[in-house]
Structure 1
Amino acid sequence: MHKPIMFNRKPMSIMKAIVKPNFDNKTILTDSCWQYVEMWLKRKHEKDALFYWQQSQHFYNASLTLPLISSPLTSYYCFLNAAKALLIVKKALIADHHGVSGRQNKETKVSLNNEIVSFKGAGLLHSLSRHFDEPLSLEEYSLKNILYNLPFIHRAYNLTYTSEPELFIPIINPVFVKKEKSKEAWFEAELEQQHSSKHTLNKLPEKYERDESYKEKCIIRRTDRFYWTSGRDSGSIKNLTSYHKKIRKQLLYIYSPNRLWYIKRNASISIINRGTITLTFAAMHKLSELARYTPQVLEAHLESQHSWLLSEFIKKSLLQFIDEISSEITGDDFRVTGFRN
C-alpha cells in the first residue's frame, strides 16, 4: 500500500518550475505575475535582473497593441529580456548574441516545413538550454516541428494537420506517493477514461507503467524511485527536487485557470527533447525575423491554411512563456484569482 506525501497539510504535486521549485510556498494567486516577480527581484536585490524584467513587460504591453504581422518582433524581445532576467538570477552566463537563427528552404511554397530554426552552440538560447539540462549540440528543426511539440497550441495544431497523432496525454491528480512503512516514493497520476486504452498506455514514455493495484481507475506511475522521510528533512527535499527535475521534462502544462497537466508520449520521430520555454523562444525568434526582414512572407503564412495555428501561437505564447519564466525565477506556482477547484 502507498499514500500521497503530505507537505504543509496538502498532497505534494508537481510544480511549474523545473529547476529549484519552491515546495514550501503556497500557490501565488494573482491575475498578473509581473508585479509579484518585480517585488521578488527587489527583495532579492537583483537590480540587473529587475531592469530586464521591466523591459520585458514594456515589450509585452507593446505586443498586445500590435497586429499579428508585427507583434512577433516585440514578443521576441519580451522573451529575450525575461530570459536574461532568469539567467542573471541563476548566475548563468549571458552572451551578447541570441544563440538561434533562421533560414528558409529554397522551395517557393509557403510552408511551416520550409521555415528552419537553428540552435547554435553558444548564445543566450544555448545558456537557457544549459540551465534546463537540454541538448547543447547544434541542431535544426522546422518551425512546424517545433509547434507540434508545444502543448498550449496542440489542439490548433491537430486541427490544422489532421493526419498527425496527438502528442500530449492529459493527466489528472498528479501526486508524489510513498510506500507505507518505507522510504520508497514515486510519482503517479490518473488518466481519464477516454485516454486509458491499451494503445495510449503503450505510448507512455520510458519508465512509466500502469499501476495494476487500482481496479476502478487508470493510474500510471513512474518506475524509478526516490527516498523520502519527511518535509523537515533537507535530504528528502533534495531527493524530491532532483527527481522532480528529471520527470518534469516529460510533464508539461498549459497556462489556464485550471491545473492542466500533460505527459508527452513516446515513439514519434517528430518529438523534440526540449522544453516549452526554449522551443517557444526559438519559434518566436524565427517569426520575429520574418516580421523584420520579410513581412510579406509572414503575411502569406497568416493567410495560408495554417494561419489559425500561427495566430494561436503568437497570441497564447505571451502568457505561457511569462508564466513559465516567472515560476523559474521565483520557484513559485502562479494561478489566477477568483477560482476554486
Structure 2
Amino acid sequence: MIPNNLFIRNIELTNHKYFPLNKPYFDPDIESERIITKDSSEYVRSFFSSKLRDLELRSENNLITYIKEHYNRQHSLELDVELKKNLEEEDLSALKERYKEDVTEASFFWDQAIEFYKGTINMDVHVKPLSIYYFMLNAAKALLVYNGVLYKDRNSKNVYHGVTGLDLRNVDKQKFLVRTSEHRIIYFNENSDLNSIQDKQIDYNFIELNELYIQSNNGVFANLGNFFNNNIKSKEIFSLDDLISNLVFVHRAYSICKGINIDGQLFIPLESQCFGTHPEENKFLYYFKIDTKYKLQTLGNIIDLTTYVSEQGNHYMIKSDQSYSNNFNDIKSFILDIRQKHQYIAGVKPRWYLMKATDCDNIKNLELNPLVILLGIFHRLSEFSRYNPLKLKNLLDSKKNETSWLLRELIENAAYQFLDLISSEITHKEFHLPRTY
C-alpha cells in the first residue's frame, strides 16, 4: 500500500493497471500479457518461427518499418556498415534477406543452446559446468545474431569465446586491466590489493575461489557485455569471487559463506515497485518499497541517478526529468537506467532486488549484466571440467573448500536463471512459472 503523501498516479495500460519493472533491459513489451510457462525455451523457438512468417505477411511499407525498428534497438553495439547502409537507403530486398538470415541463424544457435541446457538436468555437478557454458555461449550468440550485431564478423575474432581463465600466481600481471572499487579501469600492477597475490609454489590440483580470474578478449563475452552497455575492455580481468558476489540468486549463500550481515549485502529485496506519474507535476517516476528488515542510510548510496523525491518509512520515489506524455519512447532511457540497478530471482513470481550503488563489506558493484557475469564464470568452471577435473573436484569438496556449498548452489541454479533472462531479452516478454509448478 502506497502512503497517501507518496501518492502516485498509475499508468493505465491495455493489460495492466500500472507499469511494473520488466525483465528485459531493452524495449520491454509492457502492454502484452505475461507468458505463463515452465519452459520459456519452446516459446523462443516459436517466436523465431513467427518472425519468419511475418516476412511473408506484411506489406512492403509496413515491413520496412518493422525491420528498421528491430535493428534500431537501445543496445550500444555498432551495426555493420552494410546493414547501416541498407537501413538508410531502405533497401527492402537487402533488408528482408538480411533479417531472414539473422533470424534463421539465431534460431539455429538457440536450438543448439537448448540441447545443451536439457543435457545439464541429470548431469553430475562436476560435469555440469561444461554443458552449462555451451548452453550460455550459444544462447548469447542467438541474442547477438538476432539483433544484427554478430553478422559480418562470423569468421573473425569477434565470434571467439572472448574470455580465458588466468592463474595470477604465474602470469605477467602488468599486462592486464582491472576494475577498481571506484569503477575505474587501471593496470593490474597499480592496485596494491590485487598485486599482493605473489608468485608461489602452485598446487595445480587445488585453488581457492578468490584466486580464480578470467580475462576478456575480443569475442562473444565482450560483445555481450558491450551489448548491455558494460564497456568491457580487451585484457580486462575479473575475479570469480567478485563476479559471484554480483549475482542475486546466490547472494544469500555468498553472504553466509563470507559472514556478511544484512547491512553489508549488495542487494536489497523489494516488497513492491512500479512506475507512475507524480500527481502534481506529471513527472514520470519510479516507486519502490523495500523489505522491512532492511533500511537505507541515504538514497544516494543506493541509486545514483535522477532526482530523489520523497520517502516515508520504507517507501521511496525517484523522479525523472521527463513529463509523462503517453509516449514510452520519451522515457525509455529513464526506464533502462532504473532496470540496470536491479536484478531478480526467477520463479512463479520474480523477486526483485535493488543493487547498492556503492561498495560494501569488500563487495564491489561491478556494474555488469548478470548474463555477462554468468558467461564469464562458467567459462572458467568449464575449463576445469575439461582440463583439470581434479581442481574442480577439490573446489566442490566441503572438506577442502569452505565455499563449496556456494559453488554447488551456483552450478545447480545458474542455467535456469540464465534461460529466463535471455528468453526475456530476445522476445521482450515477461515469463512466469505456472502457480502449480
TM-score, structure 1 length as denominator? 0.91
Q: What residue identity is the alignment partner of 1:81?
A: N
Assess, with a 3 A threshold, how the Cα gap between structure 1 residues 286 and 200 changes in structure 2: closer, same or farther: farther
Alignment equivalent of 2:381, drawn from 284, 287, 291 = 287
Distance in 2 of aligned mates of 1:202 and 1:119: 31
Q: How far does residue 207 in structure 1 lie from its aligned partner after superposition?
A: 3.1
Give the equivalent residue in structure 1 for 2:395.
301
Report if aligned partners of 1:116, 1:140 keep a CA contact under 8 Å in 2: yes
Distance in 2 of aligned mates of 1:259 and 1:226: 28
Give the equivalent residue in structure 2 for 1:253.
344
Alignment equivalent of 2:289, drawn from 190, 199, 224 = 190
The answer to whether residue 212 in structure 2 is matched with residue 206 in structure 1 is: no
Q: How many residues align?
A: 331
Report if aligned partners of 1:150, 1:276 keep a CA contact under 8 Å in 2: yes
Distance in 1 of aligned mates of 2:393 and 2:10: 51
Report if aligned partners of 1:291, 1:298 keep a CA contact under 8 Å in 2: yes
> Which structure has the bigger radius of gyration?
2
Q: How far does residue 35 in structure 1 lie from its aligned partner after superposition?
A: 0.9
- Post-superposition CA distance 1:13-61 (Å, at most 9, x none): 1100001111121111001101111000111122211111111111011
Report if aligned partners of 2:40, 2:420 keep a CA contact under 8 Å in 1: yes
Give the equivalent residue in structure 1 for 2:109.
52
Report if aligned partners of 1:201, 1:209 keep a CA contact under 8 Å in 2: no
Alignment equivalent of 1:4, drawn from 10, 20, 25 = 10
Report if aligned partners of 2:311, 2:317 keep a CA contact under 8 Å in 1: no
The answer to whether residue 139 in structure 2 is matched with residue 78 in structure 1 is: no
Q: What residue identity is the alignment partner of 1:61?
A: K
- Post-superposition CA distance 1:156-212 (Å, at most 9, x none): 10111114721100112211111236441111101122113x537564121378754
Distance in 2 of aligned mates of 1:177 and 1:18: 18
Q: What residue identity is the alignment partner of 1:136?
A: I
Alignment equivalent of 1:105, drawn from 158, 164, 168 = 168
Q: How far does residue 223 in structure 1 lie from its aligned partner after superposition?
A: 4.1
Distance in 1 of aligned mates of 2:347 and 2:43: 18
Give the equivalent residue in structure 2 for 1:242.
333
Distance in 1 of aligned mates of 2:432 and 2:9: 26
Give the equivalent residue in structure 2 for 1:151.
248
Distance in 1 of aligned mates of 2:298 and 2:416: 30
Report if aligned partners of 1:204, 1:264 keep a CA contact under 8 Å in 2: yes
Q: What residue identity is the alignment partner of 2:227?
A: H
Unaligned runs of 5+ in 1: 231-235
Distance in 2 of aligned mates of 1:324 and 1:171: 19
Q: How far does residue 249 in structure 1 lie from its aligned partner after superposition?
A: 1.1
Question: Which range moves more in the overlay, 176-185 or 273-282?
Answer: 176-185
Give the equivalent residue in structure 2 for 1:177.
276
Report if aligned partners of 1:209, 1:220 keep a CA contact under 8 Å in 2: no
Alignment equivalent of 2:228, drawn from 132, 140, 144 = 132
- Could you say what the CA RMSD is over the residues aligned between the two structures, in angstroms? 2.1
Q: How far does residue 154 in structure 1 lie from its aligned partner after superposition?
A: 0.5
Report if aligned partners of 1:226, 1:240 keep a CA contact under 8 Å in 2: yes
Distance in 1 of aligned mates of 2:330 and 2:436: 32
Distance in 2 of aligned mates of 1:253 and 1:134: 18
Q: What residue identity is the alignment partner of 2:105?
A: D
Give the equivalent residue in structure 2 for 1:96.
159
Q: What residue identity is the alignment partner of 1:150?
A: L
Give the equivalent residue in structure 1 for 2:29.
22
The answer to whether residue 354 in structure 2 is matched with residue 263 in structure 1 is: yes
Q: How far does residue 244 in structure 1 lie from its aligned partner after superposition?
A: 1.5
Report if aligned partners of 2:309, 2:318 keep a CA contact under 8 Å in 1: no
Q: How far does residue 239 in structure 1 lie from its aligned partner after superposition?
A: 2.1
Give the equivalent residue in structure 2 for 1:67.
124
Q: How far does residue 110 in structure 1 lie from its aligned partner after superposition?
A: 2.3
Distance in 2 of aligned mates of 1:209 and 1:256: 32
Give the secondary-structure state (helix, strand or coil) at the position aligned to 1:256. Answer: coil
Q: What residue identity is the alignment partner of 2:343?
A: L
Q: How far does residue 2 in structure 1 lie from its aligned partner after superposition?
A: 3.0
- Post-superposition CA distance 1:130-167 (Å, at most 9, x none): 21111132321111110000001111101111147211
Report if aligned partners of 2:349, 2:433 keep a CA contact under 8 Å in 1: no
Give the secondary-structure state (helix, strand or coil) at the position aligned to 1:222. Answer: strand
Question: Which range moves more in the overlay, 43-52 or 266-275?
Answer: 266-275
Give the secondary-structure state (helix, strand or coil) at the position aligned to 1:128. Answer: helix
Distance in 1 of aligned mates of 2:12 and 2:410: 37
Q: How far does residue 323 in structure 1 lie from its aligned partner after superposition?
A: 0.5
Report if aligned partners of 2:306, 2:321 keep a CA contact under 8 Å in 1: no
Assess, with a 3 A threshold, how the Cα gap between structure 1 residues 223 and 184 changes in structure 2: closer, same or farther: closer
Give the equivalent residue in structure 1 for 2:47.
40
Give the secondary-structure state (helix, strand or coil) at the position aligned to 2:114. Answer: helix
Q: Percent identity?
A: 26
Q: Relative contact order (alpha carbons < 8 A, sep ≥ 6): 1 or 2 greater?
A: 1
- Post-superposition CA distance 1:281-322 (Å, at most 9, x none): 110111011111111111110012111111111111100001
Alignment equivalent of 1:278, drawn from 358, 372, 384 = 372
